[in-house]
Amino acid sequence: MELRHELIEGRAELPRVGAVVPARGVHPPYVVVNAYDDEIEAATPYLRDLALNDCSPLTVRSYGYGLLRWFRLLWLLGVAWERATEAEVAVLAGWLRTASNPQRQRTRAGGDAPGSVNLRTGKPTLRAGYAPRTINHALSVISGFYGYHAHKGNGPVVNPVPVSPQRRRALAHRSPLEPRAVVGRARLRQKVSDRPPRSIPDLLWDELFDRMGCERDRALLEFYVSSGARAVELLGVGVNDIDWAGQRIYVISKGTREREAVPASPQAFVRLARYLDEVGTPSRDEPVWRTRSGSDRPLSYWAMRRIMQRANELLGTNWTLHDLRHTAASRMANGGKLTPVEVQAIMRHANIQTTSRYLTARVEEMFDKLAEHYSTPRPATSYPTGYSADDIKAVFGA
């Protein structure tokens, strides 16, 4: 019991043993191994089932890491996976709430404190520990794992992860056009705040754009903010994916994994042409965006992320690559030229309610109107002519 209490309070660490490694086959693309590099037999069929249900390899990999964290806890507690109960799930939830996230230890010296709000952007900095969404995802992975084995007749009959019957009943017959029902959370599930998407105001966007040091980076930002393409989608665009006459590019969509057309602004294509004039056109089977130093290779997501980080360090901001997609959607939704259905088609949102989240007013964008409102003097009190000042004072107290 002492070890469990220390884990819940964040005073003990999970052993960093085991790994998620590529599999030899396709189904699943990844497997979970223990400290002796032996494959965890209970995890593999669940990951295989995810792959057969058309989950992307990255989703399978993410679920694999969720299972690895769960098995690390069970190994430490000496509990077999088929004998786990809600008590072990509670220990994991408590540890995730209090433990430090190693991914948050890469912040630069002198940067914003974890959890603080950047005064220039209004965006909160990531907290030092695990986010509520991460904890809920971890619980969903474990719940799916035991649900799969219960369906196959293995493991415990009762899923150790608590569920909310009220939520399941509310979602069972819900139309996507209806507003989301307010239901209670299941035990151990974390409260997730529903913040509106943070787009970049025009003045801060101009500053960010001016910090781009080459034509490649300026062209990338133009495509991001005019097409709404995701970071990885745009970086994978090749020569054959550019329709110069139609002013559009073709990307492999994250959701459908299909090749889809995405329109972009004429200015984006002008800057792309300038960039290609500088560096030359790559071969037809290579991505357009290339590195500028070292050997010639495609520009990776992490390299583009570092470009944004350098600009943030100079500007004192904390914008991310996904904020560029939010900015594109916000401009389209609030520009008055496109209908919400058209914005949904361009952004490739599966649900119109996702698009409607961008139809919001932001305080930063109403600064001039607020300044005019605050500076407007109070209207002076006046009375019709012909009345005596003594009578007005007697009646109205003025």
Q: What percent of the chain has pLDDT over 70?
A: 92
Which runs of consecutive H residues, i.e. helices, occur in the chain?
Answer: 2-8, 43-52, 57-77, 86-98, 132-151, 165-172, 202-210, 215-227, 231-235, 266-279, 301-315, 321-334, 340-347, 352-356, 367-375, 389-396
Per DSSP bridges, beta strands 259-263 and 30-33 are unpaired
Q: Which residues of the chain have pLDDT under 50?
A: none
Three-state SS for 134?
A: helix
What pLDDT does 195 receive?
Answer: 79
What pLDDT does 369 receive?
Answer: 77
Report residue 189 as tokens.
Answer: 């599930």
* Residue that the structure tokens 């964290």 belong to: 69
Task: Give the C-alpha distances (Å, rounded to integers) separating 300 from 143, 168, 236, 280.
Answer: 34, 41, 9, 19
d(CA 85, CA 89): 7
d(CA 328, CA 347): 9
d(CA 72, CA 17): 7
Query: pTM above the 0.85 mark?
Result: no
Domains defined for the chain, CATH in brackets: 1-101+129-164 (no CATH), 202-357 (1.10.443.10)
Is the omega angle on the peptide bond into residue 28 within 30 degrees of 0, that is, cis?
yes
Per DSSP bridges, beta strands 248-252 and 19-22 are unpaired
* Residue that the structure tokens 């608590």 belong to: 162
